[in-house]
């Protein structure tokens, strides 16, 4: 199974039913058992110019999703990437066209031109006023006699739909839609082609290739290039588009997700697009947004349109259709400094014993980095050693500036450093522990009692307890020893016993190991517990020397 659908014969009809169900009554469809898959506005009264578009399905939300107030009056849905029949188009024209006439907006593909064209001629012979705009915005193939229609088509929808809703005549709607069409310039890029439900995907690109200029049905582009960086890719796109636009004019740009890119990719690509030379021609942008898609295609298209007076107001006007994305004015990217979290006012001070304890802990953390990573790779994501070592290096770099003679301030500073340098859940847990230990030390300057209070807070927020196969299995028994004023040597012995005991635990109650089965845990000590045991052993050794 590669797609969620009932069967490929009914996928388009089922999808239309889903659209109707989600529309809140704004649209309706022709009978599913009829010859025509047509979606029409529920509130249409034929008093204004009807705006009809359509073509092959698989580009959702275009075209059926764009039926609504201020956009399309009707959409004629063919099969996946297949033009609808002449009869289907004609039935849509007859359903929504009144005395004001009808404008058909199609993309420049042979099937659409023929089927919509013949339907238009039939409707004219019946006495209807019908005009057509054939969108050809793709600039990929230089000098192409029949440029393809791609995402820029939605700008034609927007202008025509708004003018229709405003009561403009067919002549005026056609003139404005044609002006948009004449000025559109679009370019598509993808790192793989699209899919067809029920058919195995046939990729023609290598893992590191991107194709420039492919169409919305997966048609080959003009160039295949090796991907270097998002910056280089967007510079290439900008250069190609700049050759086709009038840079003396102000533009709006549509960044269209072809359907297969994730949000992070789109945001990075858009950031790089707005760093290119072409951004200096922009007043407004739309997107990143998936509005003219191709099934599962991991790519995007960029459409540039100059803001001509003949259609500017219609293009930028607000409409009620929930699918149509809001345009945004281009503004300078601003950043602000975060609040200063370094609110601790402490003075560096010296304590030889405390320094030796920290030095021993730092040495243990850096020395065991590789060992802990290897151990963690068996039960986690292989970074426990790196996490401990990163925190140790941060403390080492600031060791001479620490308040070593002031236990409460030192614990607070260590908590702050742990939270910033360790990362992940471990950093937060240790930060919680040291922050609470700091407060406890102010009330009772006893290291074992303060650290034990910090551990209580760690357990409260982390949710783990002894026996859950975490670092607590080594830390808790060691701190219990210190609370009882016993030796560091005994604390190290208890920490080692706790860490070794985790190897026999066949279930974890917290952390990444909790997602593993017993066979993956058996005989493998918890990396966090092992790390804690080695740190306490190193401290004990340093104090007994």
Using CA atoms, how far apart are residues 7 and 13, in angstroms rounded to an integer?
11
Using CA atoms, how far apart are residues 281 and 272, in angstroms rounded to an integer?
15
Using CA atoms, how far apart are residues 419 and 408, in angstroms rounded to an integer?
17
> Does residue 318 sit in helix, strand or coil?
coil
Residues 339, 517 contacting (CB under 8 angstroms): no
Residues 419, 428 contacting (CB under 8 angstroms): yes
CA angle 264, 266, 269 (to 5 degrees): 110
Using CA atoms, how far apart are residues 28 and 449, in angstroms rounded to an integer?
71
Using CA atoms, how far apart are residues 194 and 58, in angstroms rounded to an integer?
10
Q: Residue 382 corresponds to which tokens in the numbers above? A: 């292989």
Q: Which residue of the set 59, 128, 157, 217 is catalytic?
A: 217
Q: Residue 239 corresponds to which tokens in the numbers above? A: 């250069």
Using CA atoms, how far apart are residues 542 and 327, in angstroms rounded to an integer?
65
Distances (CA, A) of 181 to 139, 154, 157, 185, 458: 13, 10, 10, 9, 63
Alpha helices (H) along 423-521:
424-443, 447-462, 472-483, 488-501, 518-521
Q: Is 217 a catalytic residue?
A: yes
Q: Residue 507 corresponds to which tokens in the numbers above? A: 């279930």
Residue positions annotated with a catalytic role: 217
């Amino acid at each position: 199974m590669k797609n969620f659908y009932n069967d490929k014969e009914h996928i388009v009809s089922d999808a239309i039913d889903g659209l109707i169900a989600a529309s809140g009554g704004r649209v309706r469809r022709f009978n599913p058992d009829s010859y025509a898959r047509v979606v029409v506005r529920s509130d249409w009264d034929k008093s204004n110019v009807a705006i009809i578009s359509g073509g092959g399905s698989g580009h959702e939300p275009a075209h059926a999703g764009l039926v609504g107030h201020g956009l399309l009056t009707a959409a004629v849905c063919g099969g996946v990437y297949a033009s609808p029949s002449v009869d289907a188009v004609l039935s849509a024209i007859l359903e929504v066209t009144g005395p004001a006439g009808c404008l058909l907006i199609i993309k420049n593909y042979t099937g659409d031109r023929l089927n919509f064209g013949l339907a238009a001629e039939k409707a004219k012979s019946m006495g209807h006023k019908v005009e057509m705009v054939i969108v050809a915005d793709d600039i990929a193939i230089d000098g192409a006699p029949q440029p393809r229609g791609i995402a820029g088509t939605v700008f034609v929808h927007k202008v025509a739909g708004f003018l229709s809703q405003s009561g403009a005549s067919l002549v005026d709607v056609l003139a404005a839609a044609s002006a948009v069409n004449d000025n559109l310039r679009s370019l598509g890029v993808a790192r793989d082609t699209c899919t067809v439900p029920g058919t195995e995907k046939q990729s023609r690109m290598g893992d590191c290739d991107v194709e420039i200029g492919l169409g919305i049905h997966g048609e080959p582009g003009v160039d295949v290039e090796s991907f270097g960086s998002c910056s280089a890719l967007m510079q290439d796109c900008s250069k190609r588009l700049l050759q086709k636009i009038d840079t003396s004019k102000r533009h709006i740009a549509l960044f269209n997700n072809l359907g297969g890119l994730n949000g992070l990719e789109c945001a990075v690509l858009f950031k790089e697009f707005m760093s290119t030379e072409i951004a200096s021609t922009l007043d407004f942008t739309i997107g990143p947004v998936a509005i003219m898609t191709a099934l599962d295609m991991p790519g995007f298209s960029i459409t540039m349109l100059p803001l001509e007076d003949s259609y500017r107001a219609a293009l930028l006007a607000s409409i009620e259709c929930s699918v149509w994305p809001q345009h945004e004015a281009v503004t300078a990217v601003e950043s602000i400094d975060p609040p200063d979290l370094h609110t601790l006012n402490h003075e560096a001070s010296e304590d030889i014993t405390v320094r030796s304890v920290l030095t021993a802990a730092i040495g243990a953390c850096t020395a065991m980095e590789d060992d802990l990573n290897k151990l963690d790779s068996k039960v986690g994501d292989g970074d426990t050693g790196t996490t401990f070592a990163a925190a140790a290096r941060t403390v080492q770099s600031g060791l001479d500036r620490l308040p070593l003679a002031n236990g409460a301030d030192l614990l607070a500073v260590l908590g702050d450093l742990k939270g910033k340098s360790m990362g992940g859940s471990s950093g937060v847990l240790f930060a919680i522990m040291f922050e609470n230990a700091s407060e406890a030390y102010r009330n009772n300057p006893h290291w074992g009692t303060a650290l034990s209070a910090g551990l209580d807070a760690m357990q409260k927020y982390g949710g783990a307890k002894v026996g859950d196969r975490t670092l607590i299995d080594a830390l808790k028994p060691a701190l219990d020893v210190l609370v009882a004023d016993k030796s560091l040597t005994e604390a190290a012995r208890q920490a080692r016993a706790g860490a070794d005991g985790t190897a026999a635990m066949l279930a974890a109650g917290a952390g990444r190991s909790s997602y593993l089965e017993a066979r993956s845990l058996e005989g493998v000590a918890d990396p966090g517990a092992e790390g804690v045991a080695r740190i306490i052993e190193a401290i004990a050794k340093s104090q007994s020397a």
